[in-house]
Amino acid sequence: MVFSSLVFVSIFLPVTLLASWALRPVWAKNALLLAASLLFYAYGEPVYVFLMIGSAFMNYLWARLIERYRQQARIMLALSVVMNLGILGVYKYAGFLVELWNGCTGTAVPVPRLALPIGISFFTFQAMSYVFDVYRREVASQKNFVHILLYISFFPQLIAGPIVKYHDIDRELAERHQTLNGTAEGFRRFIFGLAKKVLIANIMGAAADACFGAGTLQVNAAVAWIGAASYMLQIYFDFSGYSDMAIGLGWMFGFHFKENFRHPYTAVSVRDFWKRWHISLSGWFKEYLYIPLGGNRKGRVRTCINKFIVFLCTGIWHGANVTFLFWGAYHGFFLMLEEYLPFFKRERKSWGRCVSHIYALMVVLIGFVFFRADTMGQGLFWVREMFTGFHFEPEAMRLCLSLLTPLNITVFAAGIAACLPFGERFREKKAAMVFSWAVSPLLLFLCMLSLAGGTYNPFIYFRF
Among the options 147, 256, 263, 318, which is catalytic?
A: 318
Q: In Å, what is the CA distance from 65 to each residue of 82, 250, 325, 349?
A: 16, 31, 35, 55
Residue 354 CA, chain-centre distance (Å), reads 28
DSSP 461: G
**Which of 274, 269, 265 is closest to 420 using CA atoms?**
265
Count CB neighbours of 17 within 10 A: 18
Q: In Å, what is the CA distance from 331 to each residue of 10, 269, 291, 309, 343?
A: 41, 11, 19, 11, 18
290 close to 306: Cβ distance less than 8 angstroms: yes
Q: In Å, what is the CA distance from 1 to each residue of 8, 154, 257, 437, 453?
A: 7, 13, 21, 27, 18
- First-to-final CA distance of the chain: 16
DSSP 48: T
Q: What is the DSSP string of 159-187?
A: TT-PPPPGGGTHHHHHS----HHHHHHHH
Could you give the angle at the alpha carbon of 48 between the alpha carbons of 43 and 53, nearest 5°?
100
Q: Over the range 285-313, which residues count as b (16 or more CB within 10 Å of their CB) and which as e?
A: bebbebeeeeeeeeeeeebbbbbbbbbbe
318 assigned to active site: yes
Percent helix, strand, coil in the chain (nearest 5)? 75, 0, 25
185 close to 437: Cβ distance less than 8 angstroms: no
355 close to 282: Cβ distance less than 8 angstroms: no
DSSP 111: P
How many residues does the structure list for the chain?
A: 464
| Strand segments (E) across 175-231 | none
366 close to 387: Cβ distance less than 8 angstroms: no
Q: Which residues are catalytic?
A: 318
